[in-house]
Structure 1
Amino acid sequence: MKIPHARRSLSGLARCTAALFLGLCVSSLHAGHWALTGSVGVHDPSITRDGSGPYWVFATGQGIHVKRSSNGLAWADNGQVFGSGLAWWKTYVPGNSGNDVWAPDVRYYNGKWWLYYSISTFGSNTSCIGLASKTGSLSNSGWTDNGLVIRSTSSNSYNAIDPNLVIDAANQPWLVFGSWWNGIYLTRLDSATMKPTGSLTNIAKRSGGIEAPHIVYRSGYYYLFVSIGVCCQGVNSTYKIAYGRSASVTGPYLDKNGVNMLSSGGTVLDAGNAQWKGPGGQSIHGTGVIARHAYDANANGAPKLLISDLNWSGGWPSY
């Protein structure tokens, strides 16, 4: 359910140190949280990088909001993906309001950029996931509409929103998705069409809310990150980011205590703090950078972009 760094590398530290002498270093290495400036209002951010070039964030909003940063710190608006809603959206989600698009996910695979996104209405599982693609740089205009990926209706036990493209250790694509209802599902994708082939596998569920799945592969394990609790209520949001891991992309995903995420397991990574309420809608670039939104208690609960280094110790992630 949705609404609308400085890096720690030696080279990054050297750049920051050099900039200090010029009075230009605006970043902070404190706790690995990036010091962001500019246009940081966002919900459900998907973070990626165009090679060694700019960072990009795609987010929930009219036509999918796009933001760009040359260094990952200073962010500016960069238009939207869809100038108007696509006609076929209404076929599967008649109640969708025109160009309202949720929880996009952007990833480069096999020579193309792939953009998965959700069309739905709040509180309903009459939903669908769509796909667009493009070649070349993200700076180039124009996405190709690749149509419907998967849909859900009131007769399904799942909700077809919050997609995330997963590339396994054998370089094969999968799609993980889901929100509330019976939780999180995974399906194999055809590497040519990037659409499902085969059955769905339920990999996580939880009463009280689970959604926004994101899977990364690192050192022999697949890590499933989810948002648990309730979003979209400003400072009253109860979102938290939780995770588990598995030796297989299809699970079982167990938390640090060995509890299966199909049995409400999940180790909490981020529960927020006095200022930042309800962190979630997370996205991970590589395995070392995590973006999410949280509601700023110092700004009347406005959702804003947060980015941090994602550290690893003993096979488990932390900030």
Structure 2
Amino acid sequence: MADFDPVSGPTDRRDVLRALGGAGTAGLFGSVSMGSVTAQRGFDEAYYENPLYGPDFADPTIQRADDGTWWAYASNMSYIDDADERLVPILSSPDLVDWTYAGEAFDSRPGWAYGSIWAPDVHYHDGQWVLFYSLWPRNDGEGDQTGIGVATSDTPDGPFTDHGRLFTNPEHPFPGNTIDPYFVSHQGTPYLFWGNFAGIYYVELTAELQNYRPGTWGQIVGSAYEGSTIFQRDGYWYFFGSTGDCCDGFDSTYEIEVGRSENLLGPYADSDGTPMMERNEWNAGPTHLGDNDRFVAPGHGDVTVDDDGSYWFVYHAYDTQGLETIDNGWPPARQLFLDRIYWSNGWPVIAGDGTPNATAPIPNLGQRPAPVAEGTYNVVNVQSGHYLGIAGTGDGATATVATNDAGFRAAWQLRRLAGGEYVLNNADSGQTLEVVNADTSDGADVQQWPWNGHPTQRWYCFEESDGTYRMKNACSGKVAEVANASAAAGANVQQWTWNDGDHQRWRFVPIEDDGSGGSSGSGGTSGSGSSTTR
């Protein structure tokens, strides 16, 4: 690699790197392999594990081709040796989980400034693949300016033909660095958004996307943000913004905050009702994706929708069980993550509890056959044979178990949602089984409350080899169990980390109307169910 021209590179650079990408590339790109990483699955094939690719795939953007393949693009940089820098690394995946390195977007560096290519944004538009990119000067000499350029390709894996810069810092009326582009075409008008902790701005583009229209500048949110993602769902435009420190390793404070508007160009407000134009301080608004004990500083990603209609967020974060930096302290080891976006009262709940998942149900789970058919059931604990029910009639009544279903509110209506999870509605009260207060800790109480769409009211049902089921909460990732493995009638039902106990296993026994109010049938009936989007 030391023989590469740092500006143009060899003519076969992309082919060389594509060939090497599937194998370990230590020695070519520093001491850490950047090759393809196949995602490890969780307790069965219905689960995947984060991170999906690393140790360096920062600022990912994602698009899907007509053949169903997902393509992801990212920043890559080396401040030690620019020959080690990939000119927009590309990954491909058939399923959003298993990613393969596919090469670089460019054969050579864009020529209008000598810089690192950051934060690409790729879209398929008007018959071509369009790549907007940030160019950050590698030299700090006079006249070097950050800016945004555009390139196009007939195929998602390139090579992309550079069409030069759209604009740099001196060419627009706003402060801050001109980086982190995000493209949106709405009602025939193409817009480009950008910004770096001085406001998120926009401008209209010309039809061929290679120039801007003077006098169409504007701003949508305050100076707390960079790394924008903007998309429309159910009558609202959503702004996902990254706020905090991205690049201080495990001490980084990056997180995702969200605003929404009925109009693409605003005004946007967050879930507290605060106008996003007033958000000028890092990490001051409601957090929609933040740290947990293992994963740090999630942010700067993109949104895609899978075949069952579920929304997914690809982003980067640090794994504290892995590297903090790549080489000699830079660049930071920001890896590729994927988590589902659930929706509650019109607001996104990323990853179920607002922190990155270590394991989670795979995308398109709703396209698989339903493990349990929709219908009305008794839910019977395997260890005790007792029935899941509710010890009361009102909001917050606790789930307990009883020796039989007579008069115990033990009938449950199972409804399968489009993403493959279930809602359990009590047939007597009409209320929904949930983990109280969206608590994610072991021992949190299971209760009934009116349906609100939050992940804490959604359950994944997974069949075990013996035909029994675990009910795994979408918010916490923990399972419903009888507390303390009790065999007593009236024992409390809570959530706990899966430990393979019979008190954590359940049977679904269909309720048939035999005229006596009792139940008959056997558990474990499978079927396709119906798909309801929530």
Q: Check whether TM > 0.5.
A: yes
Question: 2:204 matched to 1:173?
Answer: no
Residue number among 72, 85, 95 corresponding to 2:96 in the alignment: 72
Amino acid at match of 2:119: A
Structure 2 distance, partners of 1:151, 1:164, is 15
Name the residue aligned to 2:217: 200
Name the residue aligned to 1:89: 113
Contact 2:53 2:335 in 1 (8 A): no
Larger RCO of the pair (alpha carbons < 8 Å, separation 6+) = 1
Contact 2:53 2:336 in 1 (8 A): no
1:158-192 deviation digits (Å, cap 9, x = unpaired): 32100011122x24321110001x21101122223
Structure 2 distance, partners of 1:53, 1:81, is 20
**How much does 1:142 deviate?**
2.3
Question: 2:70 matched to 1:55?
Answer: yes
**Where do residues 132-281 of structure 1 align in structure 2 (5 Å cutoff)?**
132-135=151-154, 137-139=155-157, 141-153=158-170, 156-168=174-186, 170-180=187-197, 182-197=198-213, 198-206=215-223, 209-264=224-279, 266-281=285-300
Name the residue aligned to 1:4: none
Amino acid at match of 1:70: P
Structure 2 distance, partners of 1:312, 1:189, is 32
Residue number among 297, 303, 309 corresponding to 2:320 in the alignment: 297
Contact 1:293 1:303 in 2 (8 A): yes
Change (3 A) 1:89 1:157: same
Aligned length: 279
Name the residue aligned to 1:7: none
Q: Which has the higher strand share?
A: 1
Change (3 A) 1:73 1:40: farther
Name the residue aligned to 2:83: none
**How much does 1:236 deviate?**
0.7
**How much does 1:51 deviate?**
2.1
Structure 1 distance, partners of 2:338, 2:102, is 18
1:49-68 deviation digits (Å, cap 9, x = unpaired): 11242211100013111111
Contact 1:131 1:147 in 2 (8 A): yes
Change (3 A) 1:272 1:167: farther
Change (3 A) 1:82 1:315: same
Contact 1:226 1:282 in 2 (8 A): no
Name the residue aligned to 1:313: 344
| Structure 1, 263-272 or 59-68: larger mean CA deviation | 263-272
Amino acid at match of 1:88: W
Alignment TM-score, normalising by the size of structure 1: 0.80
Change (3 A) 1:196 1:282: same
Contact 1:46 1:282 in 2 (8 A): yes
1:44-102 deviation digits (Å, cap 9, x = unpaired): 01112112422111000131111112221111211111232122124xxxxx3xxx210
Change (3 A) 1:315 1:171: farther
3-state SS of 2:47 partner = coil
3-state SS of 1:262 partner = helix
**Where do residues 100-139 of structure 1 align in structure 2 (5 Å cutoff)?**
100-121=116-137, 126-135=145-154, 137-139=155-157
Structure 2 distance, partners of 1:153, 1:307, is 36
**How much does 1:285 deviate?**
1.6
Change (3 A) 1:28 1:183: same
Contact 1:252 1:260 in 2 (8 A): yes
**How much does 1:39 deviate?**
5.1
3-state SS of 1:44 partner = strand
Contact 1:40 1:75 in 2 (8 A): no
Change (3 A) 1:261 1:191: same
Structure 2 distance, partners of 1:78, 1:214, is 24
Structure 1 distance, partners of 2:341, 2:286, is 15
Contact 1:222 1:247 in 2 (8 A): yes
Change (3 A) 1:39 1:303: closer
Structure 2 distance, partners of 1:314, 1:244, is 14
Change (3 A) 1:144 1:83: closer
Structure exhibiting the larger radius of gyration computed from Cα positions = 2
Structure 2 distance, partners of 1:37, 1:213, is 22
Amino acid at match of 1:128: G
Contact 2:270 2:286 in 1 (8 A): yes
Contact 1:27 1:35 in 2 (8 A): no
Structure 1 distance, partners of 2:52, 2:286, is 30
Query: Which blocks of at least 5 consecutive residues in structure 1 are unaligned?
Result: 1-19, 91-95
1:263-282 deviation digits (Å, cap 9, x = unpaired): 01743210121111111111
Name the residue aligned to 1:14: none
Structure 2 distance, partners of 1:213, 1:38, is 22
**How much does 1:195 deviate?**
3.1
| Structure 1, 46-55 or 107-116: larger mean CA deviation | 46-55
Query: Which blocks of at least 5 consecutive residues in structure 2 are unaligned?
Result: 1-40, 77-85, 325-332, 351-534
